[in-house]
Structures are given as structure tokens and as C-alpha cells.
């Protein structure tokens, strides 16, 4: 787990779906200590494509 990343990038309180997608996309790149929730996987994958 990348504790420094987590400390610097907390999930916003009451995040919108878009904020959750953006957070999980960055998390997958920087830490990936846990999988992306199934409900967001497709959207995170689309965001991660160049």
C-alpha cells in the first residue's frame, strides 16, 4: 500500500460518481492496494485509456 499517496489523496466526503471514478482511476495507477469496485470498473477503464 502506498500510504503517502493515500494521505495526500483522500476520497472526498460524499463524492459524486465522477469524483469516485477519477479517484479510483488515479488510485489504480498510483497504489492499487485494492481492486476498483465492480460498479465503477467500466468507467475507470474508459478513463484510463489514452
Three cell numbers at 5?
Answer: 499517496
- State the pTM of this model: 0.87
pLDDT confidence of residue 50: 61
Give how far Cα 22 sits from Cα of 12, 15, 35, 45, Å: 11, 10, 14, 11
pLDDT confidence of residue 6: 94
pLDDT confidence of residue 32: 83
Mean pLDDT calculated for residue range 9-34:
94
Amino acid at each position: 500500500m502506498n500510504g503517502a499517496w493515500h494521505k495526500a489523496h483522500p476520497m472526498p466526503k460524499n463524492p459524486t460518481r465522477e469524483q469516485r471514478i477519477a479517484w479510483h482511476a488515479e488510485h489504480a495507477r498510483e497504489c492499487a492496494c485494492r481492486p476498483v469496485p465492480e460498479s465503477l470498473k467500466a468507467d475507470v477503464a474508459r478513463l484510463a485509456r489514452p
